[in-house]
Chains A and B, each alone.
Chain A
């Protein structure tokens, strides 16, 4: 009876460390809902107890219900016949069970049937669901669509859609990508037009739409004919009714349980969400940031599953008269995975808390605005939280999805030839991981998004403050290593600045983002090691490894490895 929450000591550790006080106070605005809803918390401690209880339920369902179905979901997959998409049996059973458990509206307001949980807690649930079956995350993780409607749509739309999202009756999809608009969403062409009475209709094609067969679709469409950029795009909500034709579903390497659809909108009646022209600039950015965090959780879940499989196999498999886990090269690979997962988890839940803070501050500012209160202080907070999430979100998506690929790769390697066969879970995990660093923005796009924050040294004040802290015992030598990394970082920055070569910058920004991200995580792990002895090994391995990598990145830049980019035409001829 594996419970993916109570039996995952590191997840429990991160849960217990969460500092959500400010977030919960704002989310529950004075805990006044307990009068109306018997399940609403009466204070912070009660809220935390609620979260823990519910995560236990999710852990139980993930470990005992969803995980045992994952292999058959992968084998059968979602299917498409006569224009209709059907989930695999296991997918359907899991969604039904999660709906009965009232877990499909975790982040929606209570008045629409939701649980009103912070995103951080929801993401812990997403991590566990992903560990059980990565493809189910692509449906369970779509609660962000309801959240986007809750955040920006008018009350009519909220009342129309949200209770059905919360009950699990509706699933959603976000329809952004088009054949010619992938990473570059500004190129979206699908058109939205109005009839004489002002009703909106959609016409055009969307591609690679996860769960495109969903009941409610959020669609990015061009409302201003003749425009070519983001300012002509608006966001719509519509039903996946008979005017939305699923043309095909893709046959994919992994996440077989999640249908990826090509959709054709034939004058589909739709409703505008929020303001015109803000579709991409505001609402998609909001949705996309949340979705990226979701992929972080999915990556982490897959990594955890792969590590567990590799560890189990290494303990059971005997070669040279002993279990292979006792071979130094194998145990080293397992240690690397475990440290990587713990570092990732530490980064991940920090990112989630910052995202929660940013969104709660923004809600608070809206409230102040309507009450005509001064916004000066809250605006400062929003500015800070926005700056940090703008860096941490792409960083997290980048690092965690790349890690999931590395970890599943190594975990398969530990299985040897056996791992290449369908009989073992690792074969599926390896395939499932491969999409994580592609969709919701490729790793290359995440580097671009994170590089601004990295180059501008936006966390300098935090780093400086952490430098001044007293660390116990001999942890100070680790602090010295982190400071060494910072020096490497400044050295690289200066080199790039002096060099003044745009292409070179673009390529090298990956190195800079990696160094800067590692510095941040190193500080997080150092703080953890300071209060928890178990984390000393984690901090030591991670910081030394990061330092070694930073030195390599520095050399890569200073050896001018990338200057041959000027001769790309010749080399690639």
Chain B
């Protein structure tokens, strides 16, 4: 028995620790200066998948679409307990919006195949769209439950899930396979396990292995890859060609979202007014706010 869970993870800029130099004058972010971290809600998603594995057995695979350095988060998934990791990376994926990303992810998931659950964080802290999970489910034609707070029960092919809605909760039952996006406080993610950290610290993607062979004529990529696979420290690496993707649906070409303009809105008060806490004072305040079209 056991369940196979695939967890969608993303490496994101650490927007919680923005220092002076990171914000450029035009209001955009200098990504190179921001440390890249594991999107917290995705870590929560991985924890839920690992708890299912702890209780029912099965396997957990982590998958990310991103640039080569996104392999960092995959290693971190291995440190926590993921059995397999997949980096989906290709220069032609650059500039992808949620539509193109979900296309690539759904095709990669089809290739991995044989899954019961797909877990993802509710959203990533860089884009905050919360769209990639739902769009991936749509393309795979499977049910989706977003904003999940808890898996209440799991029996054979059915899961009962508590989902947060405005002002309360909803309890939903779903057949498997399904896609679930989770909230940040659903569970507390486990720490990296010391023995796994030491085991997988040198796990590498194909791109990283290719880097090693550059300028070293004694290393052959096939041999190196075989060595890493046999030591169980190879991170599966898939490109556009490996997945036989339609290039028109990838990257910028496949992304209808166009950023028209980025504006840095700086709210700056230049004067203040004291409002007396009386009926008259509050009435005046409301009038003023209506005048400024903040109300009404």
Interface residues, chain A, with chain B CB atoms under 8 Å away = 1, 37-41, 49-50, 53-54, 57, 60-61, 65, 97, 100-103, 106, 115
Complex interface residues of chain B between 11 and 38 (CB less than 8 A to chain A): 14, 16-17
Q: Is the CB of B201 within 8 A of A102?
A: no
| Across-interface contacts of B231 in A (CB, < 8 A) | 38
Instruction: Choose from B190, B192, B195 the contact partner of A115 (Cβ within 8 Å).
Output: B195
**Highest count of chain B CB atoms <10 Å: which of A97, A101, A106:** A101
Chain A proximity mask over B193-213: 1 for CB below 8 Å, otherwise 0: 111111101000000000000
Q: Is the CB of A115 within 8 A of B191?
A: no
C-alpha gap A102/B196 in the complex (Å): 9
Q: Is the CB of B201 within 8 A of A97?
A: no
Q: Is the CB of B232 within 8 A of A54?
A: no
C-alpha gap A106/B197 in the complex (Å): 14
| Across-interface contacts of B193 in A (CB, < 8 A) | 100-102
Interface residues, chain B, with chain A CB atoms under 8 Å away = 14, 16-17, 190-199, 201, 231-232
Q: Is the CB of A38 within 8 A of B191?
A: no
B264 CB to closest chain A CB (Å) equals: 25
21 examples of A-B residue contacts, CB within 8 angstroms:
A38-B195, A38-B231, A38-B232, A39-B194, A39-B195, A39-B198, A41-B198, A49-B201, A50-B197, A53-B201, A54-B197, A57-B194, A60-B191, A61-B191, A101-B190, A101-B192, A101-B193, A102-B194, A102-B195, A103-B194, A115-B195
Q: Is the CB of B198 within 8 A of A50?
A: yes
**Highest count of chain A CB atoms <10 Å: which of B190, B194, B199, B232:** B194
Q: Which residue of A lies closest to B191 (CB)?
A: A101
C-alpha gap A410/B16 in the complex (Å): 33
Q: Is the CB of B194 within 8 A of A1?
A: no
A473 CB to closest chain B CB (Å) equals: 34
| Across-interface contacts of A54 in B (CB, < 8 A) | 194, 197-198
Extra inter-chain contacts (13) besides given A57-B192, A100-B193, A102-B194, CB under 8 Å? A1-B14, A1-B16, A1-B17, A38-B232, A39-B198, A41-B198, A54-B194, A54-B198, A60-B191, A101-B191, A101-B194, A115-B194, A115-B198
C-alpha gap A97/B231 in the complex (Å): 29
Q: Is the CB of B191 within 8 A of A100?
A: yes
A109 CB to closest chain B CB (Å) equals: 14
Q: Which residue of B lies closest to A103 (CB)?
A: B194
| Across-interface contacts of A100 in B (CB, < 8 A) | 190-191, 193
C-alpha gap A49/B232 in the complex (Å): 19
Q: Is the CB of B197 within 8 A of A53?
A: yes
Q: Which 4 A-B pairs have the closest CB atoms?
A: A39-B198, A101-B191, A102-B194, A39-B195
C-alpha gap A57/B191 in the complex (Å): 8
Q: Is the CB of B198 within 8 A of A53?
A: yes
B33 CB to closest chain A CB (Å) equals: 16
| Across-interface contacts of A97 in B (CB, < 8 A) | 191
Give the secondary structure class of B's interface.
Answer: loop
Q: Which residue of A lies closest to B232 (CB)?
A: A38
**Highest count of chain A CB atoms <10 Å: which of B197, B198, B201:** B198
B130 CB to closest chain A CB (Å) equals: 23
| Across-interface contacts of B192 in A (CB, < 8 A) | 57, 101
| Across-interface contacts of A102 in B (CB, < 8 A) | 193-195
C-alpha gap A57/B17 in the complex (Å): 19
| Across-interface contacts of B196 in A (CB, < 8 A) | 39
Q: Which residue of A lies closest to B197 (CB)?
A: A53
Q: Which residue of A lies closest to B195 (CB)?
A: A39
| Across-interface contacts of B195 in A (CB, < 8 A) | 37-39, 102, 115
Q: Which residue of A lies closest to B14 (CB)?
A: A1
B38 CB to closest chain A CB (Å) equals: 11
| Across-interface contacts of A1 in B (CB, < 8 A) | 14, 16-17
**Highest count of chain B CB atoms <10 Å: which of A40, A102, A115:** A102
C-alpha gap A414/B231 in the complex (Å): 55
C-alpha gap A308/B192 in the complex (Å): 27
C-alpha gap A103/B16 in the complex (Å): 28
Instruction: Choose from A38, A49, A57 the contact partner of B199 (Cβ within 8 Å).
Output: A38
A466 CB to closest chain B CB (Å) equals: 36
| Across-interface contacts of A101 in B (CB, < 8 A) | 190-194
C-alpha gap A115/B199 in the complex (Å): 12
B104 CB to closest chain A CB (Å) equals: 30
Q: Which residue of B lies closest to A41 (CB)?
A: B198
B41 CB to closest chain A CB (Å) equals: 16
A302 CB to closest chain B CB (Å) equals: 24
| Across-interface contacts of A50 in B (CB, < 8 A) | 197-198, 201
Q: Which residue of B lies closest to A117 (CB)?
A: B194
| Across-interface contacts of A38 in B (CB, < 8 A) | 195, 199, 231-232
| Across-interface contacts of B194 in A (CB, < 8 A) | 39, 54, 57, 101-103, 106, 115
C-alpha gap A356/B14 in the complex (Å): 39
C-alpha gap A50/B192 in the complex (Å): 13
**Highest count of chain B CB atoms <10 Å: which of A38, A97, A106:** A38
Q: Which residue of A lies closest to B79 (CB)?
A: A57
| Across-interface contacts of A49 in B (CB, < 8 A) | 201
C-alpha gap A41/B196 in the complex (Å): 13
| Across-interface contacts of A53 in B (CB, < 8 A) | 197-198, 201
C-alpha gap A102/B191 in the complex (Å): 9
C-alpha gap A38/B198 in the complex (Å): 8
| Across-interface contacts of A37 in B (CB, < 8 A) | 195
| Across-interface contacts of B201 in A (CB, < 8 A) | 49-50, 53
B82 CB to closest chain A CB (Å) equals: 15
| Across-interface contacts of B14 in A (CB, < 8 A) | 1
C-alpha gap A100/B192 in the complex (Å): 8
A133 CB to closest chain B CB (Å) equals: 16
| Across-interface contacts of A106 in B (CB, < 8 A) | 194
B40 CB to closest chain A CB (Å) equals: 11
B62 CB to closest chain A CB (Å) equals: 18
Q: Which residue of B lies closest to A115 (CB)?
A: B194
C-alpha gap A532/B270 in the complex (Å): 50
B278 CB to closest chain A CB (Å) equals: 36
Q: Which residue of B lies closest to A58 (CB)?
A: B194
| Across-interface contacts of A115 in B (CB, < 8 A) | 194-195, 198
| Across-interface contacts of A60 in B (CB, < 8 A) | 191
Q: Which residue of B lies closest to A61 (CB)?
A: B191
| Across-interface contacts of A61 in B (CB, < 8 A) | 191
B83 CB to closest chain A CB (Å) equals: 14
C-alpha gap A65/B188 in the complex (Å): 11
Q: Which residue of B lies closest to A97 (CB)?
A: B191
